[in-house]
Amino acid sequence: MNDNNFKKLHGFFIEDLKVGQKAVLKKKITENDINQFSTITGDDNPVHINEDFAKYTIFKKRIAHGFLSASLISTVIATKLPGPGSIYINQSLKFLAPVYIDEEISVNISVLEINKEKKRVKLLTECFKSEKKILTGEAEILVNSKKELNN
């Protein structure tokens, strides 16, 4: 692969990012999503996969795995902001509310800080259903510099 092809596939470089820059992904969480996530991860907690069990919990019905919503943060980071070529370094998460089958969530990412010297970006990572915040955290991402390609 040459430099031009790499640049075409690459997301934002550190020099392209601005504090306040945002990216959003919306996704309806389906029963199939929950079942597949359970199968892939091995997390078969019945609150996620068994309606009869879930009726007796504080949620009264099945809920999505918290990390199913959180995994969509990774999707936004890897595909939109900063995008392809970026490397996850750290992520904090606080789960605030459940997600139920067939609810749409909005994953919102915004740039909080940019350290060009260290090629690191701090992102605010949040998920919402309607206007209600269901998850919040911060991510630290390693982002390539255009200067590296010219060496």
List all residues 6 or more positions away from 42 whose beta carbon is below 8 Å from its beta carbon: none
CATH superfamily, domain at 3-149: Hotdog Thioesterase (3.10.129.10)
What percent of the chain is predicted at pLDDT more than 70? 96
At 1 the pLDDT is: 64
pLDDT at 67 over 80: yes
pLDDT digits (tens, 9 = 90+) for 20-51: 999 999 999 999 999 999 999 999 999 999 99
Q: Which of 7, 12, 5 is nearest to 142 (CA)?
A: 12
Output DSSP code: residue 63. B
Residue 127 to residue 125: CA distance in whole angstroms: 7
Q: What's residue 150's pLDDT?
A: 61
